[in-house]
Amino acid sequence: MSKEFRVGIMGATGAVGSVMRSILEERNFPISELRPLASHRSAGKKLVFKGEDIEVREMKEDSFQGLDIVLASAGGAVSKQFAPHVKAAGAVMIDNTSAFRMDPEVPLVIPEVNPEDAFLHKGLIANPNCTTIVMLVALKPLHDAARIKRIVVSTYQAVSGSGVAAMRELEKQTKQYAAGKPLAVEAYPHQIAFNVLPHVDIFQENGYTREEMKMVNETRKMLHDDSLQVSATCVRVPVFTSHSESLQIETERKLTADQARELLSQAPGLRVVDDPAALKYPMPLDTSGQDDVFVGRIREDISHPHGLALWVAGDQLRKGAATNTVQIAELLISKE
């Protein structure tokens, strides 16, 4: 491909924005200009891209002139503020926040799941929640083969999903615990070191958290099936990077574990690691820094004749956020 594109990154100095920059370089995205944008506090900082220093610009209403694609990860309020200006400049915004995910006018896209939806955009495409991405990359091949009717999912979410402060707190609490000192608790409502918190995001009136309801609503939207039954329990665990998920599904047509394993082994974006006898199964340590979603512990659910159980893990900063955003951009330019 000879054509090159002018790309902006909103929130370029943040955790996800930094990974976006790395992935654009790793995947050799065809760029003629990379324009890192951030708040006034970060303006003037230098970032390295392809061996060159690039200065961070303060994000303003006119910051998007001349750009083709804008990758956004600066918070929902910022995305809402600047989205009209991105579109007015003639660029396409791929938003990694939750601001537009359930807007019926905005496609919500995972390239391995519903790539065709990306081309229905009106200047704005939403990137799903990280837990939903990790789950649906694994479930889409099974859904295509046998139609999933019901999903029960429990997540085991890394602290990096809460940001740098949470990662530092886990490290600090671990050192304090080892030294026999009191543990400082700030990033979460309770100690996270040597503990698990069945509480990710804000509790809703129905008893589920907002994170759990994201998995319900986003799954239905991307699979175009409002009748799909989904129940989620999202849990924060003392792991630095990569989310893991336990999945139980009920399908319309029966799939054996071997059939499921074969389907998953041939699907894009997936890596099957499923040999319990050899103690091989997906773990956060192995998936950190990877773009694939790892799947294993594939077995028939003994509680339901059309049930399957499986275990997945994926790096939520990469495939769960930055990589998926860049892949959507790759989809768009594939038509150029």
* Residues identified as active-site: 130, 243
By DSSP bridging, strand 293-300 and strand 307-314 are antiparallel
Is there a contact between 57 and 46 (Cβ–Cβ < 8 Å)? Answer: no
90 sits in the region (left: phi over 0; alpha: psi -120 to 50; else beta) called: left
Residue 235 bridge partners (DSSP): 156
N-terminal to C-terminal alpha carbon distance within the chain: 9
Between CA 96 and CA 321 the distance in angstroms is 7
Which position has the token pair 């530092």?
Answer: 168
Sign of the Cα torsion 136, 137, 139, 142 reads: positive
Supply φ then ψ for residue 68, to 5 degrees.
-100, -40
